[in-house]
Structure 1
Amino acid sequence: MNPLEGKKVLVTRPSSQAGGLLKRLERAGASPLHVPLIEFQLHESKENERILSKLHDFKWVFFTSSNGVKFFFEWLQKMKENFPAACQVAVVGEKTKKAAECYHLLVDFTPSEFQAEKMAEEFFHSYEEPGSILYVRGNRSRDTLLNEFKNRSILFQSMTVYDTLLIKESAIIGKHLNSLDAVTFTSPSTLQAFLHSVGKNRETALTIPCFCIGSTTADEAVKLGFKKVYYPNVFIAEEMVQQLVNYFSKEG
Structure 2
Amino acid sequence: MSRPLAGKKILVTRAHPQGEGFVLKLKGLGAEPLHIPLIKFQRCWTDKTEDILTNLHDYSWVFITSFNGVKFFFEWLEEFKVQLPSCLKWAAVGSKTEKALHEYDVQASFVPESYHAQAMQAEFLSKNRNPGKVLFVRGNLSKNVLPEAFSHQGIPFDSLTVYDTLLVKEVKNLGEMLPEMDALTFTSPSTVKAFIEAVDVKSARYVPCFCIGSSTAKAAEAAGFQSIYVPHEFTVDGMIEIIIDYFQKEGKLHERP
- Shorter-chain TM-score category? over 0.9
Structural mapping, 1:193-232, within 5 Å: 193-198=194-199, 201-232=200-231
Counterparts of 1:202 and 1:222 in 2: how far apart (Å)? 11
Considering Cα pairs closer than 8 Å and 6+ residues apart, tell me whether 1 or 2 has the greater RCO. 1
Task: Give the structure-2-normalised TM-score.
Answer: 0.94
**Matched residues in 1 for 2:22 and 2:107: separation?**
27
1:203 CA drift (Å): 1.2
Give, in whole Å, the separation in 2 of the partners of 1:17 and 1:172: 22
Pick which of 90-99 and 15-24 moved more: 15-24
Q: Percent identity between the aligned chains?
A: 47
TM-score under structure 1 length normalisation: 0.96
1:241: how far off? 1.2
Structure 2 contact 184–207 (Cα < 8 Å) conserved: yes
Q: Any conservation in 2 of the 1:61–1:135 contact (CA below 8 Å)?
A: yes
- After superposition, the CA RMSD in angstroms is 1.3
Matched, 1:77 2:59: no
| Equivalent AA in structure 2 for residue 249 of structure 1 | Q
SS of residue in 1 equivalent to 2:48: helix
Q: Deviations over 1:213-241 (max 9, x none)?
A: 22221222223221111111112212211
* CA drift at 1:5: 2.0
Q: SS state of the match for residue 15, structure 1?
A: coil
Cα distance, 1:243 vs. partner?
0.9
Alignment of 1:33-72 (within 5 A): 33-72=34-73
SS of equivalent to 1:6: coil
Long gaps (5+) in structure 1: none
> What is residue 236 of structure 1 aligned with on the other side?
235
Residue 248 (structure 1) aligns with: 247
In the alignment, what sits opposite 2:129? 128
CA drift of 1:247 comes to 0.5
Residue in structure 1 matched with residue 109 of structure 2 by the alignment:
108
Give a deviation string over 1:7-26, Cα, whole Å, max 9, x none. 11000111211122111111
Confirm whether residue 31 of structure 1 aligns to residue 32 of structure 2.
Answer: yes
Distance 1:42 1:49 in 2: 13
Q: CA deviation at 1:150?
A: 1.2
Contact 1:66–1:96 (Cα < 8 Å) also in 2: yes
Deviation at 1:156, TM superposition (A): 0.4
C-alpha separation in 2, matches of 1:242 and 1:168: 31
Instruction: Provide structure 2 residue ranges, at least 5 long, that are not aligned to the other structure.
Output: 252-257
Superimposed CA distance per residue, residues 83-138 of structure 1 (whole angstroms, 9 cap, x where no aligned partner): 11101101100000000111111211010000100000000000011110000000
Is the deviation greater in 108-117 or in 18-27? 18-27
* C-alpha separation in 2, matches of 1:160 and 1:240: 28
- Aligned counterparts of 1:216 and 1:202: Cα–Cα separation in 2: 18
Where does structure 1 differ by over 3 angstroms across 4 or more consecutive aligned residues? none
The answer as to whether partners of 2:3 and 2:28 remain within 8 angstroms in 1 is no
Shift of 1:159: 0.1
- Equivalent residue, structure 1, for 2:175: 174
1:35–1:172: 8 Å Cα contact kept in structure 2? no
Asked if 1:15 is matched to 2:8, the reply is no
- In the alignment, the residues of structure 1 paired with residue 95 and residue 217 of structure 2 have an alpha-carbon distance, to the nearest angstrom, of 20
Higher helix share: 1
- Work out the CA distance in 1 between the residues paired with 2:99 and 2:60: 21
Tell me the equivalent position of 1:152: 153
Contact 1:188 1:221 in 2 (8 A): yes
Which residue identity does 2:198 align to in structure 1? S
Question: Structure 2 CA distance, aligned partners of 1:207 and 1:41?
Answer: 33
Q: Which secondary structure state, in structure 2, belongs to the residue aligned with residue 141 of structure 1? A: coil
Aligned residues: 250
